[in-house]
Structure 1
């Protein structure tokens, strides 16, 4: 069975390296309103640099044949309540 790295190496010729003039659309899906904060995150096609939501990745793959995607997902990190606050308790201006 092929490992994910072997699959990536076999499709490396389809991956483009972005140049300074390329626009990379990674803030929102180009078909729906999915963002990196959505449940499935975003998948950026590494050839066209267009982002797709989880349900549209298959559609894009069938259309273009590009199998390599960058998965971007943002999750909220919970802050524990027992952590001390790092807010300043004193404010002193012009003191030594």
Structure 2
């Protein structure tokens, strides 16, 4: 399993559109084969910056999602809303402390 972190910045007038689209699709993304966890964060200092944080079973699962109609539809609605290029990281979780 690994973690995918995506940073996205939006024009202020597009934030509600992004949040509405995320709300409509979050359960579909979370229930996509191989996705075990999904969260959305908002930067405390810059309210136009958001992060998604998701756990994936395998890199193939993430790639299957990225090539799916679900991703293509979500991305088509999200991409025009950006004010900065999105950034993404795939990382291995080394430790969890609760």
TM-score tier, shorter chain, comes to under 0.3
* Greater fraction strand: 2
| TM-score (norm. length: structure 1) | 0.27
* Greater fraction helix: 2
| TM-score (norm. length: structure 2) | 0.27
Say which one has the larger Rg: 1
